[in-house]
Amino acid sequence: MNEKVEARLRAALREAAETVDPAAVRPLLPPEPWVPARPPRHRRPVLAAAAAAAAVSAVAGGVLFARSAAPPAPEPPADESVALPYGTPLAEPGSGAAADVVVFLCHRGALAPACRDGKRPDEPARPATRREIDDVYRVLRARTEITAITFEDQETALENFRRRYRDNKLLTELTKAEDLPESFRIALAPGADPKPVIEAAEALPGVAQAVDLRCLERAKAREEAAEAAEARRAGRTPAPLDC
Amino acid sequence: MRVEPPATAEEAVPRERVDVAAIFAAHHIGLVRLALIMVGDLATAEDVVQEAFARTHAGLPRLRDPDKALTYVRSAVLNGCRSVLRRRAFAFRRRTPYEPPIWSAESAVLIGEERREVLAALQRLPRRQREALVLRYYLELSDLEIADVMGIGASTVRSTIARGIAALGRALKEEA
């Protein structure tokens, strides 16, 4: 083999690599836990499709990731959520009841098109106003299939996030309260269909996305199939979910 | 979720979760450098690594063999670089502002001419030869490690490197 060529190649590669100043390299950002990697282009008229896409990517980015928490706890315990100023706690502390649907509100880092008013991705989103949040609460409150609503503020969201990803030090250290959205966590009556609730919530201004947690759990169960891992490795997208 | 209990205590160890964030934190700069050599500019290299980081978050916890985690991560970065280069082949699709690659004359302040000549010749090699040469002469990986990262056989790695070096020598007019 040509040793001179090898030596020149080695030296050139080293010199190219050394142009990278470690101090100047952008730090890695923790992936957003549920926001679609590529927000759907369309707005309101195709909410169902957008929600399906969001659910799929939420599985990829968020719920799968939740398995790194030692006891698989897709939902923070109810006693950790702030019951004030909105709603009643989902359940008595420790009873194990969890939310069925989560309505995420717009925050500055939101990528959902509903929060962005057509802004470019590098601009901050418009956070939900107090009045919008009140309206969301009023609409949810009026729905008969909802049995309990809990409001989770950014501080509580951060606490729950830290607990869920407690063994990922980099992620928990990099994530700040303002990176996480406020949300309403909703329990539904047994057998109630979450779809109308999700559609009603997503139609309101200030709502980034409503997510069917039961659906995500089903999706997670499906993820167990080894094919899903293969599909991801091969870069293919799993088939869309039914919810 | 993988719920089946490990059959033996020894088996429990390799089934432990792989801390992706830790791997990326430990190898971030190295991965950016690898990507830079492949794609030519720092901004794109950073993007490639960030994207690989985000994407492997989902896949790595189920990796069977944690010792292969770094191999897996390197493959992910290499794949990201391939995608970038493939997209660039269609110049009209490029939306990001042009940044001169490190082997271009515009980067003369950073890298001497002799080095740039080598890097430019490297870029003109076929994709597989280029990748194998970078993994060997930059990361100093063994045939087997390169085979793992690239997903090809070890003997293919050897012949690819031999052909790559020969082609590079011809391009640089070195005596073979």
Each domain of chain A, given as residue ranges in start order, spans 3-233
Q: Which structure tokens are listed for A208?
A: 């980034």
Are A31 and B1 an interchain contact pair (Cβ–Cβ within 8 Å)?
Answer: no
Bridge partners of A211, per DSSP, are A102
pLDDT, chain B, mean = 79
Are A170 and B17 an interchain contact pair (Cβ–Cβ within 8 Å)?
Answer: no
C-alpha B45/C-alpha A16 separation (Å) is 12
E-assigned strand segments in chain B: none
The alpha carbon dihedral of A17, A21, A23, A26 has a sign of: negative
Count of Cβ atoms closer than 10 Å to residue A94 Cβ: 9
**Interval B93-122 mean pLDDT:** 72
- The pLDDT score that the predictor gives to residue B160 is 96
A113 within 8 A of A41, measured Cβ to Cβ: yes
The domains located in chain B, with CATH, are 14-99 (no CATH), 107-176 (1.10.10.10)
ipTM over 0.90: no
Query: pLDDT band for position A95 (50/70/90)?
Result: very low
Q: Could you say which architecture CATH assigns to the domain A3-233?
A: 2-Layer Sandwich (3.30)
- pLDDT, one tens digit per residue, over B23-32 is 787 888 999 9
Residues 9-48 of B with CB under 8 A from A: 17, 19-22, 24-25, 28-29, 32-34, 36-37, 42, 45-46
Say whether residue B152 is in contact with chain A using an 8 A CB cutoff.
no
Name chain B contacts of A6, Cβ cutoff 8 Å: 137, 165
- The pLDDT score that the predictor gives to residue B148 is 92
pTM metric for this prediction: 0.45
pLDDT, chain A, mean = 72
Q: Is B22 exposed, middle or buried (0-12, 13-18, 19+ CB in 10 A)?
A: middle
Name chain A contacts of B21, Cβ cutoff 8 Å: 30, 168-171
3-state SS of chain A: helix, strand, coil percent to 5?
A: 45, 10, 45
Name chain B contacts of A28, Cβ cutoff 8 Å: 24-25, 28, 49-50, 53
Say whether residue A237 is in contact with chain B using an 8 A CB cutoff.
no
- pLDDT, one tens digit per residue, over B16-69 is 555 667 778 788 899 999 999 998 888 889 989 988 888 776 555 556 666 777
A109 within 8 A of A179, measured Cβ to Cβ: yes
Residues 206-225 of A with CB under 8 A from B: 220-221, 223-224
Query: pLDDT band for position B2 (50/70/90)?
Result: very low
Please confirm whether the linkage preceding A27 is cis (ω < 30° from 0). no
A&B contacts, CB < 8 Å: 132
